[in-house]
Structure 1
Amino acid sequence: MHETKFCTNCGKSIPSDAEFCPYCGHGQAVATQTTQQTNPQPNTAGSTYQQPQSQPGDAVYNESPVPGLVVSTKLYLRDVLTINKRMGRADYWWAALGIGLLAGAASLVAFFLLALFGGLDDAYEPTGLSALFFYALLLIMFVAYVGLWIASFTAEIRRFHDLGYSGAFWLLNLVPMVGGLIVLILLCQPSRQLNNRYIN
């Protein structure tokens, strides 16, 4: 029989020799010796330090079973107009990476096409078919930018819901100089399941 232990972060059963939890990724202390005791008694003699207890219902949440670059990016794009859900931390950051890579690749292609048709020259005056292509490309880039902004806006709201906060916390982005930093710190926080009014 394979010995198991419980993750110190999410509480799920994992192999006793695991260094990291396969469910939440939290680092685990590898035990040098295992005990068969089912209800270990805490050693209170000589120490006033008490081990912090994780709250049983506060587990990591992600909508996708195994968050990753492709899966989380698809989730991000599928829920572009959805704000009444939650988005877990891993799904959010994998999707942010995926969208960043897609946007970077699309920008390089657009830059190359503009350079190919002379749109980057200071004296460029688009005429005829070249003008049609140039303005169509600018319109496509503008629509894509607005779409990505909306997707980012709704994803941040869903991420705030996962933390138990109102989507109105997005307005912190408008605070000059420190607003974006505050939002970044909040978006990096783990999921909160206990007393979260946004749990479906």
Structure 2
Amino acid sequence: MDYYCQRCGRIIGEAERVCPACGVSQDRFKDDEEQKACKKCQQEIPVNSNYCYHCGADQAQYYYQSEPLKKETPQVEKEEQPDQDNIFKQIFEGDYDDLNASYQRILKAEEEQRSELQKLKGKVTRANENEKPGLIPSTKLYLKDWFNINKRMGRADFWWSFVGMIGLTFIFSLVLSVVVTGLRSVEPNFANFFLNFMVRVFIGFILIANMSALIRRFRDAEIPVIAIVMVFIPVVGEIAAYILATKKQVVTNNDYTFIDPVREAKKRRKARKK
């Protein structure tokens, strides 16, 4: 015959004095233990029982009875518990101290992750990522971070890269016109397709790169990133966004620095593998 553990409610053998699941000694083997009536089957159970060892009923639950059961009522078979009760058991069965300890471990792990993330980010100690911003280094930085919004971008780096991209656009247009002119003498239809394709790709790249650069510049000036929606307002909004990009650097926190923590973490993992 099977019984139920008085602490966790799991099925245990008739002769088992200690629950193999939660390790609690079963008070039903003690003759002098104070008794109480089970809320469901009315059988006598130890007063400290969380579950009835006869029917498995949770003593924290209320059970409606049309007619009160007498204590002498024969043992009733365990009824299937509602899904809500099963979920409750799965989450809270066992020692509440263990649950609290698990919660504390989660909090500690999150704190360690935040600390590690802050170490990867570092602190803002200068106005620009490049020690000496200029046409070439700032444009290289712009191209490297064309899809990155997890860091800052200094004012000098931003405007030098802006000039650099104007120059690259001119060079791209010149090279593309030469290539298309040559293709038209051989395959006119393909030349037109190639021209349309390359122009669209380049425009898409410029739009994404400019958007991410503006976001990084806003982060450096600690302007709310939501202000980037101004770019979608033709002419007036774009001009306003670039005017905001002239604002000086503001450092009241180190939520965003000149280091991308995701990229830095990948670099460290690669270094450890080597």
Query: Taking structure 2 as the reference length, what is the TM-score of the superposition?
Result: 0.44
Indicate which of 182, 198, 204 corresponds to 1:140. 198
The answer as to whether partners of 1:87 and 1:162 remain within 8 angstroms in 2 is: yes
Alignment correspondent of 2:152: 86
**Match in the other structure for 1:75:** 141
Q: Per the alignment, do residues 69 and 195 of structure 1 end up closer, same or farther by CA in structure 2, a change over 3 Å counting?
A: same
Corresponding residue number in structure 2 for 1:171 = 229
- Which digits, 9 at most, give the CA deviation of each residue in 1:174-194, with x for residues without a partner? 345532232122111111113
Mind listing any 5+ residue stretches in structure 1 that lack a counterpart?
1-56, 120-127
What's 1:99 paired with? 165
Separation in structure 2 between the aligned mates of residue 191 and residue 83 of structure 1, nearest angstrom: 16
Paired with 2:210 and 2:227, the residues of 1 have a C-alpha distance of 14
The answer to whether the aligner puts 1:191 opposite 2:191 as a matched pair is no
Contact 1:58 1:194 in 2 (8 A): no
Greater Cα shift, 158-167 or 91-100: 158-167
CA contact (8 A) 2:124 2:257 kept: no
RMSD across aligned positions (CA) = 2.7
The question of whether the paired residues in 2 share the 8 Å contact of 1:63 and 1:87 is answered with yes
List gaps (5 residues or longer) in structure 2. 1-122, 259-274
Q: SS at the partner of 1:84?
A: coil
Matches within 5 A, 1:122-161: 129-161=187-219
Is residue 109 from structure 1 mapped to residue 139 from structure 2 by the alignment? no
CA gap of 1:145–1:181, structure 2 versus 1, over 3 A, is closer
Shift of 1:86: 0.4
- Hey, what's the Cα distance between the residues in 2 that align with 1:83 and 1:137? 30
Which one has the bigger helix percentage? Answer: 2
Q: Distance in 2 between matches of 1:117 and 1:129?
A: 6
Identical columns (%): 34
